[in-house]
Chain A
Amino acid sequence: MKPAVLTGEHFMTGDVACAEGALAAGCRFFGGYPITPATEVAEHIAGRLPEVGGTFIQMEDEIAAMASIIGASCAGVKSMTSTSGPGFSLMMENIGLAICTETPCVVVNVQRAGPSTGLPTQGAQGDMMQARWGSHGHYDIIALAPSSPQEIFYLTIEAFNLSETYRLPVLIMTDEMIGHISERVVIPEAKKIKTVSRPRPKGRKDRFKPFEPGANGVAPMASAGEGYHIHVTGLTHDERGYPVMTVETQKAMMAQIMGKIQRNLDDIIRTEAYRLEDAEVVIVSYGVSARTSLAAVDEARDQGIKAGLLRLITVWPFPEALIRNLAKKVKGFVTVEINLGQIHLEVERCAAGKVPSFLVGHPGGTIITPERVVEALKESF
């Protein structure tokens, strides 16, 4: 069998690095559907999965792709799909099913400019709010935003680990630029990669309740065919997995699917600071925009503006406490993102009127240059 972990130094695109990260994380099922600019994730993993004992299938649409990975995960196999805006819209229905049934899986969105078919080959970051609440009903989700091929490799592993730990779909919200740029990617030895698998049931099979939380607040998960005779439904259900159409059950189930995230924010939220210690003005950014913002920080500092960068690696759940604390000591925020103000709304909400919050946005199709960010900093502060 060929190695699942391609240890060594490579020159690869973000899309390919994402696929390799998935394999290193233990992903052994991929249900896909072609869409620019995410197709290369599926193309690469289609060739790799069968040689490491996994299975790839190109489904008839993104609805089916999403359904298939939930089915595969319920069979006990780590599973993933990748897509872009139009496909992400179609996946929303079953992302909700994975939330409600607490099924681990990973969904990669290589964002392009929308709405609708938009600019298929040109990047954007316009699906961030769709990632938050795109499926109907209220829920919490985890979304990660890598800024390089090297990081997408690691964050894909991290996405699987979080997904398995907390039993929910984890979204990798990357963008066309990161998906298509080729860079150096170093893949460590397999034994140095930490992988996590879902909590597993112990004790008597006939007493097992598939949605009864374990010690860490997450329910152990039995796979189909293991003899637990579990029932899993997208209806509001109790700890036995049985549908119960009462307000009390709805409250309890919602507390479970929200609580496991809210109680573990410290474990889930990752950010990175650049020259933030003495910063008076904080740039908040993520994905490709965080890369262009790095140059803007240095340039602004050269021009006498004490800028720093807060790079969001975890975008959802939003690092609310961090922004609230920063709002007490800085002059203001500038959010840099390739949309017309989505994460900006969150930063503004958390700044809560204490300090001003500005947007450097873009309707999509290209990156935001450092010059534009520096100009905005000069105009605003």
Chain B
Amino acid sequence: MNQIKKQVKHPLDDLLRIDRIPHIWCPGCGIGTAFSSCLIAMRESGIDLEKTVMVSGIGCSGRGAGYVNLDSYHTTHGRAIPFATGMKLANPELNVVVFSGDGDLFAIGGNHFIHAARRNVDLTVICVNNFNYGMTGGQVAATTPNMAKTTTTPLGNPDTPFNLPLLAYASGATYVARWTILHTRDLTESIEEALLNRGFSFIEVLSPCPVNYGRRNKENGIDSLKIYQERTIIRNDAQPWELDIDFDRGIVLGKFIQTERPTCTDRYDNTCRPKELIEGEKGLE
């Protein structure tokens, strides 16, 4: 009995608000896996967790902030990144992680994403891409594949989805990767790298939404995982413009970009602050 009791504690319990479990995510949903990878990476990276903040927007993935036992902010729809920008610039000592969904970050929040990447604000942005708006019942998103069915595209999505790594790269992100929730080890390592990368880091995590997206596209939870296993290829050297998601030709995963560039705060300090003020602060350290 004692042994069983000991096993009741999950290895991530310390990082979870246990009193808020069970979570709201549906059976078969991939967000929990992406979230776990994120928590493991936070712990393994060695960053000071007392100085680490999770910021989310609105949506299924946006609920992430509510379950992490760190300082956590669940903001308005699409606004996690500008909120996080203000927080990071006001206190550069904080490690600010944005954990949110594709609808939140790239439709309503798309403008904020490109500008934070352009400025190279030192944030880690993890986007769980489940190809639709899950929380509201499965509407078309900026990431929904062409011709996929959703409640607001009952005959198929006439539009083209974003290539998110290309968007991040073109906007100026200094770390860009894409994984699926099946590639948990790669994903966790990648999040760890992103947390340690000084600058705007972006990771797209492909994730099944069997209840909303899968149901309307003849793809159950297991089918999604099979696709992630059989129709993905890891190519770290792939060019960002080769990363359109095409389930027939295969989806390219990997760490595509890792580069150094002065951060928003670096540039601000060097450009706008009086020299004696920066040197004075260094002297104090």
Interface of A is mostly: mixed
In whole Å, how far is B32's beta carbon from the nearest beta carbon of chain A? 18
A109 adjacent to chain B (CB < 8 Å):
no
The reply to whether B91 and A67 contact each other, CB–CB distance below 8 Å, is: no
The reply to whether A72 and B89 contact each other, CB–CB distance below 8 Å, is: yes
Point out the residues of chain A lying under 8 angstroms from B90, CB to CB: 28-29, 55, 71-73, 75-77, 79
The answer for the CA separation of A59 and B19 in the assembled complex, in Å, is 37
The reply to whether B272 and A50 contact each other, CB–CB distance below 8 Å, is: yes
B268 interface neighbour in A50, A51, A68, Cβ under 8 Å: A50
B242-285 at interface with A (beta carbon < 8 Å): 264, 268, 272-274, 277, 280
The reply to whether B51 and A232 contact each other, CB–CB distance below 8 Å, is: no
A263 adjacent to chain B (CB < 8 Å):
no
The reply to whether B86 and A68 contact each other, CB–CB distance below 8 Å, is: yes
Interface string of B11-53 (1 = CB under 8 A from A): 0000001011000000000000000000000000000001101
The answer for the CA separation of A225 and B52 in the assembled complex, in Å, is 6
The answer for the CA separation of A93 and B273 in the assembled complex, in Å, is 32
In whole Å, how far is B184's beta carbon from the nearest beta carbon of chain A? 25
A72 interface neighbour in B55, B86, B111, B268, Cβ under 8 Å: B86
B66 interface neighbour in A31, A75, A225, A233, Cβ under 8 Å: A233
Residue of A nearest to B51 (CB): A225
A55 interface neighbour in B19, B51, B111, B268, Cβ under 8 Å: B268
Interface of B is mostly: helix
The answer for the CA separation of A97 and B80 in the assembled complex, in Å, is 12
The reply to whether A1 and B277 contact each other, CB–CB distance below 8 Å, is: yes
Point out the residues of chain A lying under 8 angstroms from B273, CB to CB: 50-51
A373 adjacent to chain B (CB < 8 Å):
no
Residue of B nearest to A77 (CB): B90
B93 adjacent to chain A (CB < 8 Å):
yes
B71 interface neighbour in A70, A96, A224, A243, Cβ under 8 Å: A224
The answer for the CA separation of A243 and B23 in the assembled complex, in Å, is 12
Interface string of B66-91 (1 = CB under 8 A from A): 10011111111001001111111111
The answer for the CA separation of A61 and B73 in the assembled complex, in Å, is 21
Point out the residues of chain A lying under 8 angstroms from B73, CB to CB: 71, 74, 224, 231-233
B166 adjacent to chain A (CB < 8 Å):
no
In whole Å, how far is A106's beta carbon from the nearest beta carbon of chain B? 14
The answer for the CA separation of A177 and B70 in the assembled complex, in Å, is 47
Interface string of B102-132 (1 = CB under 8 A from A): 0000000001100100000000000000000
Interface string of A62-97 (1 = CB under 8 A from B): 011101111111111101000000000000011011
In whole Å, how far is A2's beta carbon from the nearest beta carbon of chain B? 8
The reply to whether B93 and A71 contact each other, CB–CB distance below 8 Å, is: no
B211 adjacent to chain A (CB < 8 Å):
no
In whole Å, how far is A164's beta carbon from the nearest beta carbon of chain B? 15
In whole Å, how far is A56's beta carbon from the nearest beta carbon of chain B? 8
Q: Which 7 pairs of residues, A with B, have the shortest CB-CB distance?
A: A71-B86, A68-B86, A64-B82, A72-B90, A71-B87, A67-B82, A233-B74
24 chain-A/chain-B pairs, Cβ below 8 angstroms = A29-B89, A55-B268, A57-B86, A57-B268, A59-B115, A60-B112, A63-B79, A67-B79, A68-B82, A69-B86, A71-B83, A72-B86, A75-B91, A76-B90, A79-B90, A94-B76, A96-B76, A223-B91, A225-B93, A230-B71, A232-B72, A234-B74, A235-B74, A243-B66
The chain A residues found within 8 Å of chain B, CB to CB, are 1-2, 28-29, 31, 50-51, 53, 55-57, 59-61, 63-65, 67-77, 79, 93-94, 96-97, 223-235, 242-243
Identify 13 new A-B residue pairs, CB closer than 8 A, beyond the known A57-B85, A225-B51. Answer: A29-B89, A63-B82, A67-B75, A71-B55, A71-B85, A71-B86, A75-B87, A97-B75, A225-B50, A225-B53, A226-B71, A233-B66, A233-B74
